[in-house]
Amino acid sequence: MVRSAVLFSAVFLVCGTLVAQDSAPAPAPAQPAATTTVSPEVAQFQKIEDNWSNSINQRDQYGLELVLSPLFVDVSAVGDVTTRNQQVATLISGEDKTVHLSQRVITVRLLGDISVVNGTYVLHHKVNASQVDEKGVFTHVYERAHGGWLCINSQRTSLRQDTKEKQKKQSTAELPFHFPLFSKN
């Protein structure tokens, strides 16, 4: 009887150990050293943004049409809303020969056949008679079409430029903290 109890205990202990080893989670694979911060999606959309910029910079109508969807809507940094046809017409008319655009992709979110791309841009152009470098951020929405990506929506926001003319207003108070309600004035 004692022998069967010891045998049963030994078998139970061995089976319990085997089950515990099988159910233990496998160790996580070692993370490779980060050699680059650019994901394949960011690199892919950077190429598309580069094609867009090059089309603007070289006044290439066909190149621009390959990037922009026929349903494209653009909201500029000043609030102007334009379509793809209006963008192409502006490119062809070429009133401002100094226009130069550079764009840098920061993030890409893939949502099935839609992607949202955020980044920064610098737009060199004429305002009245002077040259201006407009710096800002953009959001571009792309749709997968015909084995590629076409931009269907663009929103730009210019960053506020600090000018040297704005200087900190000097306080006339005798003490560093001036409370109007509690002062003697």
Any domain includes 129: yes
Which pLDDT does position 35 carry in this prediction? 47
Domain count, the chain: 1
Query: Can you give the pLDDT at residue 95?
Result: 78
In a domain, 113, yes or no: yes
- Is 27 within a domain? no
d(CA 94, CA 103): 20
How far is Cα 26 from Cα 28, in angstroms, rounded to an integer?
6
pLDDT in tens, the chain (185 residues): 556 655 555 555 555 555 555 555 555 555 545 445 679 999 999 999 999 999 999 999 999 999 999 999 999 999 999 999 999 999 988 777 788 999 999 999 999 999 999 999 999 877 777 788 899 999 999 999 999 999 999 999 999 876 655 555 555 555 555 556 655 55
Which of the 8 DSSP states describes residue 130? E
> Cα(67)–Cα(146) distance, rounded to whole angstroms?
12
Report yes or no on 78 lying in a domain: yes
Position 22, amino acid: D
Q: Would you say residue 14 lies in a domain?
A: no
Find the domain containing 129 and state its range: 40-158
H-state helical runs in 24-83:
40-57, 61-67
179 belongs to a structural domain: no
Structural domain includes residue 28: no
CATH number at residue 52: 3.10.450.50
- Asked if residue 89 belongs to a domain, the reply is yes
The pLDDT assigned to 34 comes to 47
Residue 11: helix, strand or coil by DSSP?
Answer: helix
